[in-house]
Amino acid sequence: MDGIFTNLKQTFRSGNILAKLIYINIGLFLLIRLTDVLFLLFNLSGISLLSFLQLPSSAELLLFKPWTLFSYMFTHYDFLHILFNMLWLYWFGGLFLQFFNERQLGGLYVLGGIAGGLLFMVAYNIFPYFSTASANSFLMGASASVMAIVFAVSFYRKEYEIHLLLIGRIQLIYLALFTLILDLLAITSTNAGGHIAHIGGALLGIGFASLIQSGKDMTTPVNRFIDWIVNWGKPKPKMRVTYKRKETDQEYNARKHQESQDLDAILDKLKRSGYDSLSAEEKKKLFDASKK
């Protein structure tokens, strides 16, 4: 068992940011489901980790659980929910990395999730349609983050084509716009919060593509903040100051004499056996001498 966890840990550390995001989502999903099973075995059915991880639509509840604006984007409970989200993340995350770097993928994932979560809260507290549900509605899932990645790629490379089963080749931007239309039509459905969050993530992705084309990267601030969080509390390396004593004339002359002897020996070897016979250190000494 220890070997399995060691292998998983090594795979996580050696994987790119896309693999890490998928691992985190799956790991949290398993943790939630397993703890729920444990709680049920002890007749504690009213307790679940979801209550600490889901994003509430109520601003008052968010004040007591501010971390949920971040944690919700890694939280899933239904198997099909996480399956489809991870498939989309795997496909479009890989496509994203063809044009951008890993730090931009991680930063955009977080920003897309935040944008989707905020739009969900705003919509549920502004539109009268949601007035009866705004006090006890919650959001979870990586969909908003994934939509940000999908729309970032789609609007950055509008001409990019993919192959869809039964449909054939289609430009990626049309697939993105089709999903956006579906989300707009479904904002009064039973999963209204999820579709609203999709729209927030999609708009963030479009904004990223627009800014990156003008030379601005909106993920830079969030990546700096994440770096600060990761490095917070770590001991800073102590600075060591060394002082080099000045050579005396005798020491200088002795060093120069030794360097001259070494160079003469290298030149003799070069003359006898050719350049390929020299060691790497001898070649370096010869190169350094030629620059003087």
Q: Which of 186, 205, 231 is the last residue of a domain?
A: 231
Amino acid of residue 63: L
CA–CA distance, 17 with 89 (Å, rounded to integer):
11
Amino acid of residue 227: D
Q: Which of 181, 197, 231 is the last residue of a domain?
A: 231
Q: Which of 244, 254, 265 is nearest to 281 (CA)?
A: 265
Whether 136 and 100 map to the same domain: the answer is yes
Least confident of 48-52, 117-121, 166-170: 166-170
Angle among Cα 162, 205, 82 to the nearest 5 degrees reads 70
Whether 205 and 92 map to the same domain: the answer is yes
Comparing 110 with 280, the larger pLDDT belongs to 110
Q: Which of 127, 201, 146, 273 is nearest to 282 (CA)?
A: 273
Give the structural domain span for 269.
249-291
Whether 81 and 172 map to the same domain: the answer is yes
Whether 54 and 151 map to the same domain: the answer is yes
Looking at the domain assignment, is residue 156 inside a domain?
A: yes
Whether 190 and 258 map to the same domain: the answer is no
> What tokens does 54 get?
């889901």
For the stretch 196-231, pLDDT in tens is: 999 999 999 999 999 999 989 999 999 998 888 878
The strand ranges marked E within 167-270 are 168-171
CA–CA distance, 118 with 85 (Å, rounded to integer):
20
> What tokens does 145 get?
């983050």
For the stretch 11-62, pLDDT in tens is: 667 678 999 999 999 999 999 999 999 999 988 878 889 999 999 999 999 9
Q: pTM of the predicted model, to two decimals?
A: 0.77
Looking at the domain assignment, is residue 115 inside a domain?
A: yes
